[in-house]
A and B are shown apart, each in its own frame.
Chain A
């Protein structure tokens, strides 16, 4: 894909976010898709490509009344949607389809009509991780962190500051689930979930969805909204077992996806005005900052704790400006919401808008460091 050859022309979340017990998972997909189509001024007949995760693309296409020529059901966890954006860009660029809809919907809190990921007892994770008592992401995603802390001297207070800073961004966002300011002490006194992680260092569990619509850039101005151009993309996977990741202080999938996207975009870190790093847990922005090359190894925690990413006079790199998975919302596969915030920032419509922002980097993780996708956007026309 050539930089800025593809544009996002429709973007929307579900009408409501948070607790939505009156909608099933598939309807959350549809609610977001209908909002995105309205945003772009399109009808189902205008869509000829569909990508989704959680539900199959068959289910979503049928439910919405689509007749796609191109489908992508890549489902590698929460960054699936970044990877869908990448695949859709390539598909549109090569002429496989013209107008792609990407949907996400998840009844993470209410559990209505939810598809579940079951770890088969015959799988390698089922044989070599599950017998030792993990219970989902809070007990698995967090396992590498003590090794990181010992290697680089990251303190509990620095790790707590990730949650504190993101709550400051959330306070600016009317749709954020949690907006009340918190302190490092609040974080370190919150309920222990899986040492060293306490409740306020773990993501929310909410209901919601989001959808994107993508077309070739030459059609970008045919739609009601300011087009957002795709500048660079990257993706990778590492392992379905967190115990087997090569380096507990760094994600190999991050180190492939991020630099691939930067190389395609042809930009340097100094060019980045806005950054989203998928924060299912408080350590992820630290790993992301380092693996994407924004700060040297071992310095991510101090960079955040010293308020370089926080609202205020020290702000150098606005990070997770919607409040993130820690305070905004997290339905389970958060990547779609990170993408939505990058689009809002590029359109100039974010609640905590970064003045003059021209380039946004949106970096996602899937599974427990299992997968990664990076999307770099620009609001400057080609």
Chain B
């Protein structure tokens, strides 16, 4: 797998805290100080109540496999077949990711199985949050 050739995210001022977090080994989410809503993807205001007072916090990194496809065609940086997955975090938000550390098969990738974050360094600036199955 040639990870360097994946599509590389380019942080913006509003998302920089997230990418600083993954580089530091934290999965950072945001919580609204007014209504308590935990949300993703990052933005400096609450998408539920529009309050600008929000806090960044380190999530548990735990969640469950919510849905996925197993892609069978080649994409730069990936060796097919590979799963493109959505994980639902214990804190509520869902995010797209890859599931590593298990066969990329429907038998191994059971919906609702517990997963935990693993940080995969792409380069000095970008570390991606991937997930792996975990016994719970």
Chain A contacts to B: CB under 8 angstroms: 119-122, 124, 126-135, 139-140, 142-147, 150, 191-197, 241, 243-244, 248
Contact = CB atoms under 8 A, between A and B. Distances in A.
Contacts of B95: 128, 243
B111 A146 contact: yes
A126 B10 contact: yes
Nearest to A147: B67
Contact of B86 (A122, A127, A243): A243
A145 to B, nearest CB: 7
B72 A131 contact: no
B69 A197 contact: yes
Contacts of A121: 7-10
B71 A146 contact: no
Contact of A243 (B6, B12, B94, B98): B94
Contacts of A133: 6-7, 71, 75, 77-78, 82, 84, 98
Contacts of A145: 67, 69
Dominant SS among interface residues on chain A: mixed
Contacts of B112: 150
Nearest to A134: B84
A244 to B, nearest CB: 7
Interface string B48-68: 000000000000000000111
Interface residues of B, number: 36
Highest count of chain A CB atoms <10 Å: which of B67, B94, B122 = B67
A128 B72 contact: no
Contacts of B117: none
Contacts of B6: 131, 133
B96 to A, nearest CB: 4
Nearest to A146: B67
Interface in B110-132: 111-112, 122, 128
B69 A196 contact: yes
B11 A143 contact: no
A97 B67 CA distance: 47
Interface in B71-105: 71-73, 75, 77-78, 81-82, 84-86, 94-98
Given A243-B96, A244-B94, A130 B69 contact: no
Contact of B97 (A132, A135, A139, A144): A132
Contacts of A194: 69-73, 84
Contact of A139 (B10, B84, B86, B106): B84
B41 interface: yes
Given A122-B10, A133-B6, A243-B86, A143 B97 contact: no
A139 B122 CA distance: 22
Given A124-B41, A134-B84, A129 B73 contact: no
B15 interface: yes
Contacts of B12: 122, 127
B111 A147 contact: yes
B41 A127 contact: yes
B9 A248 contact: no
A286 to B, nearest CB: 15
8 contacts: A126-B10, A128-B40, A131-B6, A132-B85, A134-B96, A143-B67, A146-B111, A192-B70
A131 B128 contact: yes
Interface string B1-42: 000001111111001000000000000000000000000110
A192 B69 CA distance: 11
A124 B84 CA distance: 17
A154 to B, nearest CB: 13
Given A124-B41, A133-B6, A248-B67, 19 more contacts: A121-B8, A122-B10, A122-B12, A127-B11, A128-B9, A131-B7, A131-B9, A131-B128, A143-B68, A143-B86, A143-B96, A146-B69, A147-B111, A195-B69, A243-B86, A244-B41, A244-B94, A248-B66, A248-B86
A142 B69 contact: yes
A139 B11 CA distance: 24
A130 B8 CA distance: 8
Contacts of A134: 71, 75, 84, 96
